[in-house]
Amino acid sequence: MTIGILKEPQEEARVALLPEAVKTLISWGTQVIIESDAGLSAFADNPSYVAVGASIKSREEVLAESDMICGIQPLLQEEILKMKPESVLLGQMGALFNPDLTKFLIKEKRTAFSMELVPRTTRAQSMDVLSSMATVTGYKAVLLAASSLPRFFPMFMTAAGSITPAKVLILGAGVAGLQAIATAKRLGGSVSAFDVRQAAKEEVLSLGAKFVDVEGAKEDKAAGGYAVEQTPEFIQKQKDTIHEYAAKSDVIITTAQIPGRKAPLLVEERTVLAMKPGSVIVDLAASSGGNCALTQPDKSIEINGVKIIGVGNIASELPQDASKMYGKNYLNFLKLIIKDGEINLNFEDDIVKGTCVCHAGEAVNSRISEMLTK
Ligand code: NAD
């Protein structure tokens, strides 16, 4: 079988598989064809792919000749039509939020897998691109905040006087939040964090940060380790506590999200206005509505001297390691659907079934079928 890798859209610097990952795929008995310069923005040039046994082709050739296309960003519908009808499409298509593309794939009887659907089970952990990219974004968010802050992160005792450490508040202590805590601690910040899940408390404390408790959070075991929507009373209590902490903070990094829903609004306009001029808010939930009322997606704005950074795809700003992690997750998933160098789809496997958007004209993942019947 032939696996194809296309150049991602201009705003995406990552590539799904770096040469190292391609080498492993070829050792499984597959052929790999790469669109010319597909890896360039992640610092993998054409010769580095050729050196591991891949061939460089044009975009049209990759689309027409591949039995499986591995990418990150969704493909345009007209390009999907250029693929062989029986070929398999793998990417991160945001299938639950992109009903047009999902319906199109079903209508065209395509087989598509979307990596954000990988179930959050222990066995699937090594394939979880959301966790990998959250690690990248949590880290990068702190660097963004530090480089925008008009003061130091660490404490200094110098001949020119003492500098107190920056106070950092992290909202949401999931994968991105925990990485942000660890990075802010390494930079010497004084870090506090909030989460609605009690399980997050221990993790926050073990990283040496303070946990800010707000009583009365709702939890649901059935949510598989994720947060659930909170009551209006709890959210108001939380907003008031954040308001109190925000006035003392130099940096707020918000990462709070609820799968499949708009991000909770935690930092109100009045809270931004209460912050010290020069403070920075980095909103990692910007693309799902934002945790701060004033966030503008993909933009940095300033209100009363407070900078609000509405972060988009910052994983793409660390393309080398982000692509390396992506590729490792992909290989672990591909092991489940490639056997003896050929595609072998076993829908009895919960990970294969859970990650599949559609096959043979039907939605496969149960959340996709639910979304389509709503
Ligand atoms: P996420 O990106 O959906 O959310 C980020 C964080 O925001 C979560 O910790 C959530 O609890 C928090 N949050 C939501 N609403 C909030 C509110 N109102 N106030 C404060 N915080 C709020 O989640 P994620 O980081 O992808 O994952 C969350 C958890 O899922 C992880 O910590 C882990 O326990 C589990 N997980 C399991 C696996 C696996 O087993 N394969 C993989 C990844 C994550």
pLDDT digits (tens, 9 = 90+) for 225-240: 677 888 889 989 989 9
Does residue 199 register a pLDDT over 80?
yes
Beta bridge partners of 267: 292
Ligand 1, CB cutoff 6 Å, lining residues: 120-122, 124-125, 128, 130-131, 134, 171-177, 194-197, 200, 225-227, 230, 238, 255-259, 264, 266
What is the best residue among 131, 236, 252, 351 to mutate for testing ligand 1's pocket, by most ligand atoms within 8 Å of CB?
131
- Mean pLDDT for 291-305 is 95
Question: Whose alpha carbon is nearest atom 34 of ligand 1?
Answer: 225
Does residue 287 register a pLDDT over 90?
no
- Regarding predicted confidence, which is higher, 330 or 214? 330
- Mean pLDDT for 174-180 is 97
- Mean pLDDT for 367-373 is 89
Cα separation values, 221 from 128, 149, 193, 228, Å: 20, 39, 22, 10
123 assigned to active site: no
Amino acid at 343: I
- Mean pLDDT for 268-276 is 96
pLDDT bucket at 340, cuts 50 / 70 / 90: very high
Q: Residue 221 has what pLDDT?
A: 72
pLDDT bucket at 259, cuts 50 / 70 / 90: confident
pLDDT digits 0-9 by tens, 42-97: 999 999 999 999 999 999 999 999 999 999 999 999 999 999 999 999 999 999 88
CB 151 within 8 A of CB 278: yes
Sequence-distant (≥ 6) Cβ neighbours of residue 67 within 8 angstroms:
1, 2, 3, 84, 86, 87, 88, 343
DSSP letter string, 34-75: EETTTTGGGT--HHHHHTTT-EEE-HHHHHHH-SEEE-SSPP
Say how many Å lie between the CA of residue 173 and the centre of ligand 1.
7
Q: In 3-state terms, what secondary structure has residue 96? A: coil
> Catalytic one among 36, 45, 120, 300?
120
* H helix or E strand, kind and range, residue 358: strand 356-359
330 assigned to active site: no
pLDDT digits 0-9 by tens, 312-338: 889 999 999 999 999 999 999 999 999
261 assigned to active site: no
What pTM did the predictor assign? Answer: 0.93
**CA dist., res. 275 & res. 311, Å (int):** 20
**CA dist., res. 251 & res. 294, Å (int):** 15
What is the best residue among 117, 118, 175, 242 to mutate for testing ligand 1's pocket, by most ligand atoms within 8 Å of CB?
175
**In the 8-state DSSP scheme, what is residue 151?**
S
Say how many Å lie between the CA of residue 32 and the centre of ligand 1.
35
Q: Residue 39 has what pLDDT?
A: 98
CB 239 within 8 A of CB 214: no
What is the best residue among 121, 197, 266 to mutate for testing ligand 1's pocket, by most ligand atoms within 8 Å of CB?
197
198 assigned to active site: no
Q: Residue 224 has what pLDDT?
A: 66
131 assigned to active site: yes
- Mean pLDDT for 253-281 is 92
